[in-house]
Structure 1
Amino acid sequence: MIPPIANRFVAGESPAEALAHVRQLNGHGVNGIVNLLGEHYDEREPAAADAAEYRRLVADIAGSRLGACISVKPSQLGLEIDESVFRRELEEIVAAATERGVFVWIDMEDHTTTDATLDAFEAVARERDGGERSSSDHRSDDGVGVCLQANLRRTRADLRRLADVPGKIRLVKGAYDPPSDVAYTDSTRVDQEYRTLLEYAFEHYDGGIAVGSHDPAMIEHATALHDRYGTDFEIQMLMGVREAAQYELAEEYDVYQYVPYGDRWLSYFYRRVAERRENLRFALRAVLSS
Structure 2
Amino acid sequence: MIPPIANRFVAGDSPAEALEHVRRLNERDVKAIVNLLGEHYDERDPVAADAAEYRRLVADIAGSRLEACISVKPSQLGLDIGEDVFRSELTAIVNAAAEHGVFVWIDMEDHTTTDATLDAFETVAREQGGGVGICVQANLKRTRADVRHLADVPGKVRFVKGAYDPPADVAYADGARIDQEYRTLLEYAFEHYDGGIGVGSHDPAMLEYATALHERTGTAFEIQMLMGVREDAQYELADEYEVWQYVPYGERWKSYFYRRVMERRENLRFALRAVLTG
Query: Does the pair score TM above 0.5?
Result: yes
Distance in 1 between residues matched to 2:125 and 2:29, nearest whole Å: 28
What's the TM-score once normalised by structure 2's chain length?
A: 1.00
Partner of 2:60: 60
Partner of 1:46: 46
Q: CA deviation at 1:226?
A: 0.2
1:231-246 equivalent positions in 2, closer than 5 A: 231-246=219-234
Q: Report whether the alignment pairs 1:224 with 2:208.
A: no
Q: Report whether the alignment pairs 1:122 with 2:122.
A: yes
Question: Amino acid of the residue matched to residue 179 of structure 2?
Answer: D
Partner of 1:135: none
Partner of 1:31: 31
Q: Residues 88-113 of structure 1, C-alpha deviation per residue, up to 9 Å, x if partnerless?
A: 00000000000100000000000000
Partner of 2:111: 111
Distance in 1 between residues matched to 2:53 and 2:266, nearest whole Å: 33
Q: Report whether the alignment pairs 1:252 with 2:218.
A: no
Partner of 2:182: 194
Partner of 1:95: 95
1:284 to 256, 272, 278: 272
Distance in 1 between residues matched to 2:14 and 2:29, nearest whole Å: 23
Partner of 2:15: 15
1:165-184 equivalent positions in 2, closer than 5 A: 165-184=153-172
Question: Amino acid of the residue matched to residue 27 of structure 2?
Answer: G
Give % identity.
82
Distance in 1 between residues matched to 2:240 and 2:120, nearest whole Å: 33
2:260 to 265, 269, 272: 272
Mind listing any 5+ residue stretches in structure 1 that lack a counterpart? Answer: 130-137
Q: CA deviation at 1:170?
A: 0.1
Distance in 2 between residues matched to 1:128 and 1:107, nearest whole Å: 18
Three-state SS of the structure 1 residue aligned to 2:151 is helix
Partner of 2:197: 209
Q: Residues 44-91 of structure 1, C-alpha deviation per residue, up to 9 Å, x if partnerless?
A: 111011000000000000000000000000000000000000000000
2:150 to 162, 174, 194: 162
Question: Amino acid of the residue matched to residue 140 of structure 2?
Answer: L
Distance in 2 between residues matched to 1:163 and 1:50, nearest whole Å: 31
Partner of 1:3: 3
Structure 1 residue ranges (4+ consecutive) displaced by more than 2 angstroms after TM superposition: none
Distance in 2 between residues matched to 1:95 and 1:264, nearest whole Å: 26
Distance in 2 between residues matched to 1:209 and 1:157, nearest whole Å: 17
Q: CA deviation at 1:202?
A: 0.2
Aligned length: 278
Three-state SS of the structure 2 residue aligned to 1:52 is helix
What's the TM-score once normalised by structure 1's chain length?
A: 0.95
Mind listing any 5+ residue stretches in structure 2 that lack a counterpart? Answer: none
Q: Residues 244-285 of structure 1, C-alpha deviation per residue, up to 9 Å, x if partnerless?
A: 000000001000000000000000000000000000000001
Q: CA deviation at 1:123?
A: 0.1
